[in-house]
Structure 1
Amino acid sequence: MSYGQDYGGYYDDGRYPQQGGQQQWPQQQQPQYGQYGQQQPDQWQQQPQYGQPQYGQQPQYGQQTYGQQQYGQDYGTYYGHQGYDPQQYEQFAPQPQYGQQPQRPVGKTAPKKKKRKKKRNPFLAALVTLLILTGIGFGGYYGLSEFGFLGPSDYSGSGNGQEAIVEVKKGQSGGEIAETLVSAGVIKSAAAFLEASLKNPDSKTIQAGFYKLQKEMSAEAAIIALLDKKNRYVKTVLVTEGMATPEIYKKLSTELGRPVEEFTNAAKDPVALGVAETWFTRKDGKPVTKSIEGFLFPATYEFTPSTTPEQALKAMVSRFNEVAKEIKFVETLASNKTYSAYEALIAASIAQNELRKDEDMSKGTQALYFRAYSKKFPCNCLKADSALNYYFKLNGAPAKPSKDITAAELADKNNPYNTYVNAGMPPTPIGNPGKVALSAAMSPSSSSFQYWVIVDDKGTAAFASSLSSHCSNVQKAIKANVPVRPC
C-alpha cells in the first residue's frame, strides 16, 4: 500500500471528497487551510478546521515504500507534518468518525500498557526480616511454624522430675543448644529458648560440658539451670599429693567406668601425653627410665562421661607443665651441676611421701641430696621406706608400715627401688608431688640434716645431723605409737 492510500484511509473522516475511490487531497494554497499551516498544534485543536498538514516534502506519497523510509530520521515527513515526533502526532492528528476503527501506519505498534505494581504487605515483610535475622543468630533453626499468635510454644515450671543429661559442645550457637534441648525433651520449642535468651543476657556465658537437667522445663528455667554450676554433670577425680600411678588409675577407672588396663596402656608413652623429651636426663650416670610417674599433677579434676583415658592423663600432665613453668623448675635446675631436673623430681616425690607437713619439705629434700650425692653417707643410699612401698604398689601389693618391712625385703637387690642396697636416686619418681614439694626440691634448705622420722600422729618430723640424735627421735616416735622401725 502506498502512503497516499494509507493516509486516505486514515483520514477518511468526511473532510475531503473522494473521486473514484481515491482520496482527493486539498491544494497547498487553499485559503481555508493556508492560514493555519504555520500555527502550533494546540491552535489546530481550537479551530473548526484542522489546518493544512505540511506535505510539501512528499508530493508523491503513493510512490514511497516502507523500505525506503527512514523512520528514525524522518518522523516529520512520514506523518505529513514537519517538526513533530510520533507522540505529538498522535495527540494532534484528526480523529476518526464515530464507529470507524482507525488504522495505524504499518510498523507502528500500539504502546504497551504499564503493569501496575502490586503493593507489598509491610507486616509480612517485617515478619520475614525478623525470621531471617533470628535464623542467622541462632543457627537458622527457628521457623515461622514455631511462633504462635500469642508467642512461642513453651512448657511451664522447672520440669517434671525426669532426669535428662545433655551436652553443650564447645563453640555451639544458641540455636544449636536449643536443638539439643528440644531433642532431649527438656524444652518444647527452640523459639521459646530464643525468646528467653533475649531476655537473659547471661545466656551468652553458658559453658561447654554435660548438664543434668529435667524434662519439660520452661525455656527460662532451662537457661537458669545451664548457668548454675551445680547442674554440671561431671566426674570429679581428686588426686592427692604423693599418689602413685597405680592408685590414680584405679580411681580414674572407678569414676570414668573404664578398665584400669586402658589407663596403663595409655601411659606407656609419656611424651605422647605431653611430657617433654628433655625431662628424661640424669647427671648421676644411671640409665633413664621414661615413666609418666611424677607428671600427673595432684589436683581436683572434672571429667565428662565421654572423657577417654588419654584425655584424662593429658589433662594431668598439662597441669604439671603449668605449675613447673610457673615456679621455673627446669630453668632453675638447668645450672645445677650435681643433679638434673628429673632427679630433683624424684627427690620431690620421695619427700612428698616421707613427710607430712609443708614446712618440712625443704629440709627433707636437703637430707635426700646429702645422702645421694655428698659421698659422706653410707653407700650413698637413701634408705627410704617409701621407695620400697612404691615397688610393692607396682606389683599389686599393699604398702607396709616401716616396722612391718622384713629384713629380706630390705636386702632384696632385685628390687630397683630398694634404696637400702642401691645408691642414689631410684629409676623414677615414686609418686606425684605437689607444688610445695617441687619448690622444695628446686630450692632445698641450707641445713646439714641427714636423718628424719615422724614422731607423732600429727605428722611432725624430727630431723638430725647424727645417728645418735636420730635414734633418740625414733624412741619418741615409738612411745607415741608411730609404726616406725627401731633404730
Structure 2
Amino acid sequence: MYGDGGWGGQQTQAGRQSAYDGRPQQHHPRTPQYGDWTHDQQQPGYDGQQHPYHDGSGEAQYEQRFAGHAQHQFHQGGWDATGTHGQVPYAADPGDPYGQHPVAYGGEQPDFYGTEDAYPPPEPPGRRREPEPEPETAGEEEHAFVAGGGGEDAEEHELQSRRERRGKGKKPVKNTKRRTGCACMVVVLVFGGGLGGVGYFGYKFYQNRFAPAPDYAGEGTSETVSVEIPKGAGGWEIGRRLEQAGVVKSAAAFVHAQSSAPGADGIQAGAYLLKKEMSAASAVRLMLDPRSQNNVVVTPGERNSGVYAAIDKKLELSSGTTKKIADKQYKNLGLPAWAQNDGDLKDPLEGFLFPGTYPAAKGMKPEAILKQMVTQAKQKYAAYGLDEKAKGLGLKNAFELVTVASLVQAEGKTHDDFRKMAEVVYNRLKPTNTETNRLLQFDSTYNYLKGTSNIHISEKEINSNPSPYNTYRHPGLPPGPIGNPGEDALKATLNPTDDGWIYFVATDGTNNTEFAKTYAEFLELKDKFNANAGN
C-alpha cells in the first residue's frame, strides 16, 4: 500500500384520715369549759387572747374560749370548721418539712370540750405557738470561711495568740501565704505561657497569611539537581518537590512566582535539571525553558530504536548503550505475561514503550527509564482489556492486537484515518479475502525491517526480501508490533468501521489518505498518487 509513517393548695383532704394518723387517741382529765358559744360567735369582750386564772393549786390555768361541738381551726388567715378535735400546734420539728403546715383532717372525731378529757386546751384564734429556738451547741465556733476570716491563716493566728496569753512562748506563725504566692506564680506562668503561645501562633498566622514567603535570591548556586514532576502535579506539589530538592526555599514562594508568571501554569510533567537555592521566580523561568527539561518523550508510533537513542543522549551515554541493555534485560522490565519473543521478532520490547514523557537525567540508569515505559504500557493495555477483546476481533491474543494497533498507527495519517485503517487490516486478514489473499502489502512493515521511512520502494526490492516483516510476500501479520501505538490508534483498533474498506492510498504522499472497496477504485487512487508525485 501507499502509506507509511505513523461530588413546658390548698391542701386536699387526705381521705378521712384522723388527726392522729389513725393511732389510738389519749383521753386526758377533763378541763372545765367556760361559756357557751354558738358556732360562729365570740363572747363579747373577747380580745382574742388566753386569760390565765388560778384554781387554788397555785397553777395558772387558761380559760377556754371555745364552746360548741365543733372546733374552729384557723387555717391560712381564716377559721375552718372541721368538726374535728382541736389540737394544740406544737413547735415544728426542724426535720419535718411539713411541721408548720396545717394538717388536713378527715372523718368525724369525738368532741371532748366541756369534759374532763379536754386536753390540751386549745389556743385562742389567731395565735400560734412559735417554735422554740434550738440551743446553741457549746463550743461551736463559726467557721472562719463563713465569718469572712482567713481560713487556715486565721486559725493559726488564734492559736498563736492563745500561746502568747498563756506565756508559753512564741512560735513562729506558719506562713501559708508562701504557698499562695507559689500558686499565684504558677497561674502567672501558665497565663504568661498561654499568652506566649497565642503570640507565637499569631505570628505564624501573620507570616503565613500576610508576610512574604521565605525565598532565595538570585539564579542559584553552581550545584545542579534533577527534579521529577509527575503528571497532573499542580503548583503546590511542584513547589513541594522543589523545596525538598533544595531548589527553592519554600513551596509558597514557588506558587506565588508561578501565579505571577504568564504561561507558568503550563509547566509539563517530566524531569528538570535545575540549580540549588534559586529564587522561586528564577526556578519558574528555567522550568519554562525546554533546555531545562531532562525528559525522554515517546511519541505515538515511534519505534524503539528512536527511544533508545534519545535515552542515550539524555543520560550522556555512548550510542547503542540503551539498546544493548534492552536486549539483555527485557525479561526483567515487567512485560505482561502474554508478550512474545519468538525467533523472528526483531525487538521483544517493541510496542511496550508506551507513548508519554519520562524523566531521563544524567546519573539515571537506562533500565530504570525503560521499566517506567513498560509499566505504563502494561497498565494501559490491562485497562483496555486487550486479552478479552482480541478474539472478538478475529485475533489470537492481545499481542496480535497490539501489533494491529501499531500498523494502524503507522499507516494512518490523521485521527480520522485510524478506524478505517483498522477495518482495512481486519478485512485483509480474513480467510475469505480474495482481493489480496490475506496479504497486507504494507510499506510500513518493510520500512520497519529496514529501519527506514520510504514510500517509494521498488517492486523488485520488495519481492526479493524474504523477511517475515515483508507483508508483500508473507500473508497475515508481521511477527510483532512495528512501533509503539498511542491511545487514539489503540481505541480505533478496538472499534473499527464496518464499511467494507480494503484498499487505501496516500494520494498526496503525506497526509491525505483515501480509501477504496474494490481493486478498480484502488487503481484510480494509484493514478492520482502518481500524478501528484510526478511519476
**TM-score in terms of structure 1 length:** 0.55
Aligned partner of 1:316 among 354, 363, 373: 373
2:428 is matched with 371
Counterpart residue identity of residue 276, structure 1: P
Residues 1:472 and 1:305: Cα distance change in structure 2 (over 3 Å)? same
Task: Select 1:333's aligned residue among 376, 380, 390.
Answer: 390
Q: CA deviation at 1:292?
A: 2.3
Could you say which residue in structure 2 is the equivalent of 1:254?
313
1:383 pairs with 2:473: no
Instruction: Classify 1:383/1:248 alpha carbon distance in 2 versus 1 (closer, same or farther; 3 Å).
Output: same
SS of the residue 2:299 aligns to? coil
Equivalents in 2 of 1:153, 1:446: separation in Å? 61
- Contact 1:281-1:340 at 8 Å conserved across structures: no
Cα distance between partner residues in 2 of 1:380 and 1:425: 9
Q: 1:454 to 1:337 in 2, by over 3 A?
A: closer
Separation of aligned partners in 2, 1:367 and 1:176: 48
Q: State which of 212, 230, 233 in structure 1 corresponds to 2:288.
A: 230
The structure-2 alpha-carbon separation of the partners of 1:336 and 1:461, relative to structure 1 and needing over 3 Å to count, comes to closer
CA, structure 1 residues 225+477, in 2 after alignment: closer, same or farther (shift >3 Å)? same
**CA distance in 2: counterparts of 1:194 and 1:431, whole angstroms:** 40
Deviations along 1:410-446, one digit per CA (max 9) or x if unpaired, are 3333x23222333321111001122232223222232
Partner of 1:426: 478
Structure 2 residue 163 is matched with structure 1 residue 93: yes
- Number of the residue aligned with 1:417: 469
The answer (yes or no) to whether the contact 1:363–1:449 under 8 Å persists in 2 is yes
Indicate the SS of the match to 2:310.
Answer: helix
What's the offset of the Cα at 1:92?
0.7
Match status 1:359 vs 2:412: no
Shift of the 404–251 alpha-carbon distance from structure 1 to 2, 3 Å rule, reads farther
Report the Cα distance in structure 1 between the residues aligned to 2:270 and 2:509, rounded to whole angstroms.
44
Provide Cα deviations, 1:134-187, integer angstroms capped at 9, x if missing partner: 99x9xxxx9xxxxxxxx999789x626867755678999999976854xx6x66
Amino acid at match of 2:457: K
Q: CA, structure 1 residues 176+401, in 2 after alignment: closer, same or farther (shift >3 Å)?
A: closer
Please give the secondary structure, in 2, of the residue aligned with 1:437.
helix
Conserved in 2, the CA contact under 8 Å of 1:268 and 1:291?
Answer: no
Contact in 1 for aligned 2:325/2:366 (Cα 8 Å): no
Give yes or no for contact 1:456–1:482 (8 Å, CA) kept in 2. Answer: no
Match of 1:438 in 2: 490
C-alpha contact (below 8 Å) 1:329/1:439 kept by paired residues: no
Aligned sequence identity (%): 21
> Which one is further off, 423-432 or 465-474?
465-474
The code of the aligned residue for 2:487 comes to K
Distance 1:461 1:175 in 2: 48
SS at match of 1:432: coil
Whether contact under 8 Å (1:411, 1:420) holds in the other structure is no
2:298 maps to a residue whose letter is V
Mapped to 2, the partners of 1:358 and 1:391 lie a distance apart of: 25
SS at match of 1:453: strand
Q: Higher helix proportion, which one?
A: 1
Q: Give, in angstroms, the shift of residue 352 of structure 1.
A: 2.0
Q: 1:444 to 1:212 in 2, by over 3 A?
A: same
- SS of the residue 1:358 aligns to: coil
Give the conservation status (yes or no) of the 8 Å contact 1:388–1:418. Answer: yes
3-state SS in 2 of match to 1:91: helix
What's the secondary structure of 1:93's corresponding residue?
helix
Mapped to 1, the partners of 2:335 and 2:325 lie a distance apart of 16
Cα distance in structure 2, aligned partners of 1:175 and 1:126: 32
Contact 1:453 1:473 in 2 (8 A): yes
**Distance change in 2, residues 1:90/1:128 (3 Å):** same
1:291 aligns with 2:348: yes
What root-mean-square deviation, in Å, do the aligned CA atoms of Structure 1 and Structure 2 show? 5.4
The 5-angstrom pairing of residues 162-311 of structure 1 reads: 165=224, 181=246, 210=272, 212=274, 217=279, 222=280, 230=288, 233-259=292-318, 260-262=320-322, 264-266=324-326, 273-278=333-338, 291-301=348-358, 308-311=365-368
Amino acid across the alignment from 2:471: T
Query: What CA deviation, in whole Å up to 9, does each residue of 1:264-298 have, x standing for no partner?
Result: 5257666754543245599xxx9999822113233
8 Å Cα contact 1:355/1:454 also seen in 2: no
Q: Quick one: distance in 1 between partners of 2:170 and 2:341?
A: 109
**Bigger Cα Rg:** 2
- Give the structure 1 partner of residue 80 of structure 2: none
Deviations 1:207-259 (A, max 9, x none): 99757468574xxxx37956996379432433333211011111232234345
In structure 2, list runs of 5 or more residues that go unmatched: 1-137, 142-154, 230-235
Does the 8 Å CA contact 2:514/2:525 hold for their aligned counterparts?
yes
Identify which of 457, 464, 477 aligns with 1:403.
Answer: 457
User: What amino acid maps onto 2:491 in structure 1?
Assistant: S
Task: Give the aligned partner of residue 88 of structure 2.
Answer: none
Kept in 2, the 8 Å contact 1:347–1:441? The answer is yes
CA contact (8 A) 1:358 1:436 kept: yes
Matched position secondary structure for 2:428: helix
Structure 1 gaps, min length 5: 1-37, 42-84, 143-150, 188-192
How far, CA to CA, are the matches of 1:337 and 1:173 in structure 2?
A: 46
Contact 1:280 1:290 in 2 (8 A): no
Counterpart of 2:470 in structure 1: which amino acid? Answer: N
